[in-house]
Structure 1
């Protein structure tokens, strides 16, 4: 039987009561979760960097491999949120939480497989990426310890998914900080005693604490069976397949961009790295609003109110574009000062000067793209998002970036390719949103 709070949530959604308080109450804690790990990794890099260039190179190779593997499995967050939020909106809170149970089973099973593969394949992956046997050996040692945390990372993704689905983004923030803060304290201690490998153990400790807290919240909230429900797991994996392909298309775009930027010289690659890290930071802010859109859209559709879902989309797009415009204005006004925070090299700064304005345009356009992405993810419109992303890579980015390479357009050409990637996605998601077909998926 649905609780009174569940029924209240459903009736509010049906009545169209989507407020700024609801949106930002979900978005701000989500932003904290999104920002915590990048800040932790920056600290990790700074501490290991004090050991020397060799250790920093090994850490870079190892974390790149780990990130490429775990990034493809974010469907455990986004897919679970989409499914759980629909059930929550339909006043079926216990069924929404049960989605978290099944997603956690997926996390454990898939995590153990990936962990095993990482331990066995670490020497090959590390050598392929680094091209240096000594760096590969050090990276392998780091990866084999970090592999212990892979199931924990996936459990955390599943935990974020079901808690967002029931419109609770505060607990994920608390759980994340409870793991990240002790981990951050341990990094310098363990690295000073054990060298590079200490960094990996600090990571395992941080993920263990956070995963344990998510599991504790699940045990407290769930009232039904704990057995794997293979039909539900199958449905989650089907949606996961589309989200993995979508994520892979992003990886193809940005890895190709780095590869082409490198072919234009060291200054070009360094400039690209600065722009890319700034872009990644900006997407954190905009993604937090997309998470709010996803959660509220799923709940509205679960309550069978497509109009409320549309209202959510319009409001979140408005807020997201406003934030994006402010960010774009800041980056435009301080176009000379911000790059100098990262480099004083005149050749690098010269490479950045023109692509900087392309990035500013991408920030404003991204305010629309990411917000509607959130709405469509909340509607479980994963097949469309997969197709749109792949089309944007094949029709926009890859032709643009390789033409830039062929004609020697430099870093400006590379970022024109990324702009084309965003523009095609923009057109696709706006048309899809206006059609309202996503509300019937």
Structure 2
């Protein structure tokens, strides 16, 4: 069994990194929520669009970790860092393309998602500024990826906290102090991304490896990235459908969905801290030829994820009467929140297991299976119930029932795959 201290030594700093961005978004949601329901709805739609643009490239983080961890486990640190160089080039190149696309498509996409012209206009005012940070978001993802691969999760924590900490202070000053509203929120968001990305680039330069682009390595990364991009598309199809259904229900419903969804996203990444440790340790074990240790670690991390999920469910169940009021004072939004809240609470133990085993399988480079399982769960569970909810006016209970079905199907898939052992392929490169 891997010592708990080793797991926590990787998981706790990773938790800080994973939690920093959603925690900042929670602060942003709370600050904007006190501007009014319209501003909160605009932030909800704008944030979904930004997530669509940026998070399709999660392979820059998770895929880079899987490849770098195997090389690190095989004793090839410089090659592991070189994975980060090529991932950073990909991040910069694709980020610039997505920035232009985001500016061009901001209005039509926001109008499609929003339930009214007013919410769409508010979303676009935020989005046109926020997309300027996309290249930096992707470069930060690449930096996190290679550092996790070489089992360095402390420096990324410092870098991300520096950016988000400054922006968390800046956000209320710009939004309320200077009365810039959503514009102030967007400027604070971009500020965080610029600061964090700058630190990651500096760390890469200090490694002393070649900075020349390598087409062969980037193509290999894109091969793994293909499956992770398709998986991310399934996630984002669910997220965008849920937000659109809530927005077409009412302004209060989409505001309530924004609050509970941001809390869900925050806790998902909190639970994912164990998965980050699993990625690094499983990848290193397989890279070093030790599949037995990798399999034992998989179930060890699963137990931790289950206990962690149960604890979070208990805590947030107890806070049901207090916490929502910190995010908004809008009476209509507060009245809608309980319809989603208890789904959010009761799903935490299942989420703990799912996210832990996602990390194990990602660390093993088993992206093709995760792609298929996620797409299947979305098509069979989440999406049908979300769109039926919109058609039959089931509101937030229908939307969150879809999320529950999605998580149960994923739970069954990843537990079955882990038990099979077919994911534990040894070698420096899979």
Question: TM-score of the superposition, structure 1-length normalised?
Answer: 0.84
**TM-superposed deviation, 1:295:** 1.1
Counterpart of 1:202 in structure 2 is: 188
Q: Can you list the C-alpha shifts for 1:347-397, whole angstroms capped at 9, x where unaligned?
A: 988876676554444211112111110000001111110100011111222
Listed as ranges, the gaps of 5+ residues in structure 1 are: 1-16
My pick for the range that moved more, 259-268 or 296-305, is 259-268
Q: Can you list the C-alpha shifts for 1:13-57, whole angstroms capped at 9, x where unaligned?
A: xxxx62111111111111111222223233334545566666555
Residue pair 1:44, 1:187 contacting (<8 A) in 2 also: yes
Residue pair 1:119, 1:144 contacting (<8 A) in 2 also: yes
1:121 and 2:105 are equivalent in the alignment: yes
Distance 1:59 1:258, change over 3 A: closer
Distance 1:137 1:311, change over 3 A: same
Residue pair 1:97, 1:222 contacting (<8 A) in 2 also: no
Residue pair 1:108, 1:155 contacting (<8 A) in 2 also: yes
Counterpart of 1:217 in structure 2 is: 203
Q: Distance in 2 between matches of 1:346 and 1:193?
A: 26
Select 1:88's aligned residue among 52, 61, 72.
72
**TM-superposed deviation, 1:247:** 1.4
1:395 and 2:380 are equivalent in the alignment: yes
My pick for the range that moved more, 297-306 or 276-285, is 276-285
Q: CA RMSD in A?
A: 3.2
User: How many residue pairs are counted as aligned between the two chains?
Assistant: 424
Counterpart of 2:413 in structure 1 is: 428
Secondary structure of residue in 1 paired with 2:239: helix
Counterpart of 1:280 in structure 2 is: 265
Q: Distance in 1 between matches of 2:252 and 2:36?
A: 22
Q: Can you list the C-alpha shifts for 1:288-328, whole angstroms capped at 9, x where unaligned?
A: 11111111111111111111111211111111111112223
Q: Distance in 2 between matches of 1:363 and 1:200?
A: 30
Distance 1:43 1:384, change over 3 A: same
Listed as ranges, the gaps of 5+ residues in structure 2 are: none
Distance 1:146 1:407, change over 3 A: closer
Counterpart of 2:132 in structure 1 is: 148
Distance 1:187 1:358, change over 3 A: closer
Counterpart of 2:18 in structure 1 is: 34
Counterpart of 1:305 in structure 2 is: 290
User: Which gives a bigger RCO, structure 1 or 2 (Cα 8 Å, sep 6+)?
Assistant: 2
Counterpart of 1:247 in structure 2 is: 232
1:15-414 alignment to 2 at 5 Å? 18-48=2-32, 58-130=42-114, 140=124, 142-191=126-175, 192-193=177-178, 195=180, 196-223=182-209, 225-260=210-245, 272-332=257-317, 357-402=342-387, 411-414=396-399
